[in-house]
Amino acid sequence: MVRWLLLFGCLGAVVAGCSRSPASIGSATMEQDGTIVLMLRAEGPGGTVGDAMFRYPKTHPDYQKTLDHLGGLKPGESKPVPPWPE
């Protein structure tokens, strides 16, 4: 999944010659039980659009890594998701 997210974060930059990544690839929300929900979008040439939703309960092996990438998140809070580094 991490590789897919990397592609997702760089798709716009790849199309434009990798000159820059988008500021945000979607939004993250933390549910009351601590589950992180990512709503992500990639846009490509010719109007190609891809949407995805990922859920990370506290027991998920990538939970802490995802939370760290977001810069922290509290229950009920939402924030933009920055692209993952290449």
Structural domains of the chain, count: 1
pLDDT at position 69 over 60? yes
pTM over 0.75: no
Residue 23 located in a structural domain: yes
Residue 68 located in a structural domain: yes
Residue 58 located in a structural domain: yes
pLDDT at position 84 over 80? yes
pLDDT reported for residue 22: 76
Q: Which residue has the higher pLDDT, 11 or 50?
A: 50
DSSP-derived 3-state class of residue 44:
coil
Residue 60 located in a structural domain: yes
Domain of 6?
Answer: 2-74
pLDDT at position 20 over 70? no
Residue 34 located in a structural domain: yes
Q: Taking all residues of the chain, what is their mean pLDDT, rounded to a whole number?
A: 82
Task: Order across the sheet with 78-80: list the strands.
Answer: 49-56, 36-43, 26-30, 78-80
Tokens matching residue 38:
């990512």
- DSSP letter (8 states) at residue 17: T
Residue 86 located in a structural domain: no
Q: What is the CATH number of the domain that holds 8?
A: 3.10.450
